[in-house]
Structure 1
Amino acid sequence: MADRLNDGRPLVQDKRGFASQQLSSLKHSASGQQLGFLASIASSLGLRAGASCHAPYYLIGNFVFAHFILVQRTFKQYYGIDNNTAPRENVDKYGEAAIKSGKITRAQLDMIKRAGAAHSNRVENYPVFAAAVVLAIVAGVPNDVVNAQCLLYSISSIAYGACYVLIDSTPLSLLRTASWYGGCWACFRLFWVAGKALNK
């Protein structure tokens, strides 16, 4: 009882006596654990002040994604219409014939074409991202700011690739557009904060 009287937490009376206080204590404990978990994730991703620079890893990851993972050839090999002699001509040269022979469907050929377009876009966009990151680092932009924009670009890039390849519906294709703008915003933001840092 003495412990009860010395407890500084507010007393909440209900039909169960002290039960509400115990529940409140559990809630505070769970909330603290959740905040600690989120703080741990933020630290791991380099999103807190004083974080180390994760930009080189994001640059490597996005290069690998654009040039080696999000590639049309993987789909062409899977559906058996790949020819390494002139791989860029495979879809035009063998695509329609593969449909007529029943090897693939029209929807599958369209997906292969979209994969090629997604790959080209990510390869074309990568130099802009790399330039924005390098400029931000040279300008002395805080690491947590650079890391945050690199993370946004990476998530947007993966979402863009997935949406481009898998979505064949016009309304849902807006998700691809949104993810593309997300990546562009990350690059723009890096250029902007770098410019401000250079002109202090």
Structure 2
Amino acid sequence: MNPRYDLVSPRAEQLVSKGKLTQEQLDQLRRIQAAHSNSMEHYTVFTAAVLCSMVAKLDSGMLNRYATIYTLVRAAYFLVYRQNTTRQAAGIRSVLWWAGNIVCIRLFWFAGKALNAHVL
């Protein structure tokens, strides 16, 4: 078997060689797939942060603000990831990834403080 043979999407290179897709289009489709996978993996962190916040009975207005910020940051992350062809775009993508993490960390922090206040 050819070591360059793509077992994940074996027909993708054929589409490029037959002229049905350009290499740029194929690369963009692969970036979209990677962005989707990353979003699905990160959604579990966000879900856990929201659930902890709900258990801690945080203010719903604050929780809604953080959830909205997270959603907007992740949407921007997806758009930048999709067009990521330069080092500058990669840097912006990293900043957006961290921004999403910081939103989740803050929700965990606030939930922990609220739960700790009830214990003490």
TM surpasses 0.5: yes
Unmatched runs of 5 consecutive residues or more in structure 2:
1-5
TM-superposed CA distance for 1:91, in Å, is: 6.1
**Correspondence 1:94 to 2:94:** no
Structure 1 segments, 4+ long, off by >6 Å, are none
Unmatched runs of 5 consecutive residues or more in structure 1:
1-88
The structure with the largest alpha-carbon Rg is 1
Residues 31-76 of structure 1, C-alpha deviations (whole Å, 9 max, x = no match): xxxxxxxxxxxxxxxxxxxxxxxxxxxxxxxxxxxxxxxxxxxxxx
TM-superposed CA distance for 1:92, in Å, is: 2.4
Identity %: 38
What is the aligned-residue RMSD (CA, Å)?
1.5
1:16 equivalent in structure 2: none
**Correspondence 1:151 to 2:62:** no
Residues 84-143 of structure 1, C-alpha deviations (whole Å, 9 max, x = no match): xxxxx8862111111111111111111011011000000001111011001101101111
Match of 1:140 among 48, 57, 68: 57
1:114 equivalent in structure 2: 31
Query: TM-score with structure 2 length normalisation?
Result: 0.87
Counterpart of 1:112, as a letter, is: L
Query: TM-score with structure 1 length normalisation?
Result: 0.53
Inter-partner Cα distance in structure 1 for 2:93 and 2:26: 19
**Correspondence 1:189 to 2:106:** yes
The structure, 1 or 2, with the larger RCO (C-alpha pairs under 8 Å, 6+ apart) is 2
Inter-partner Cα distance in structure 2 for 1:178 and 1:156: 10
Query: Which has the larger helix fraction?
Result: 2
Inter-partner Cα distance in structure 2 for 1:174 and 1:151: 23
2:43 equivalent in structure 1: 126
Inter-partner Cα distance in structure 2 for 1:90 and 1:104: 19
